[in-house]
Copies of this chain bind each other. A is one copy, B any other.
Amino acid sequence: MSVSFEVTRARPGVSGGKYPADCPTRVVLNHVTSRWGVLILLALEQGSRRWGELHREIEGISEKMLASTLRTFEADGIVHREAQPTIPPRVDYSLTPRGQEIAARLLPLMDWITDNADDIVSGR
């Protein structure tokens, strides 16, 4: 299969490389690290969530940003959306396998931040 290019810049992984502006990497990175992206992924990492649950759990997010971030992730194949055509409607969001891989790599970061945020913010 012609091997996805080492072109993506003959680099040994990210380490050692540059960060071309036009790289798909940038797009995905921006989605994941978007203002609410990490929080949504971490919430879903703990299991499927309904719209309202996400809205409540992620304090401060507006309906607009929750909707648009979820749609972006759905298009990326990171989040799965399952709507039940009932009344009232019920929609569940969950991570796809791909989303789970990302979330798994986000957990160590968040745990570290959780442990150190107080010190950092208070200038220690």
Q: Which residues of chain A have a CB within 8 Å of any CB of chain B?
A: 4, 8, 13-21, 23-25, 27-30, 32-35, 37-39, 42-43, 45-46, 57-60, 76-78, 98, 101-102, 105-114, 116-118, 120-124
Bound complex: CA A71 to CA B31 (Å): 24
A76 to chain B, nearest CB (A): 5
* B38-A111 in contact (CB<8A): no
Q: Please give 19 more A-B residue pairs, beta carbons under 8 A apart, in addition to A25-B114, A28-B117, A32-B113.
A: A4-B118, A8-B118, A19-B58, A20-B59, A24-B120, A27-B121, A28-B116, A28-B120, A28-B121, A29-B39, A33-B33, A33-B34, A33-B37, A33-B38, A78-B120, A101-B112, A102-B112, A105-B108, A109-B109
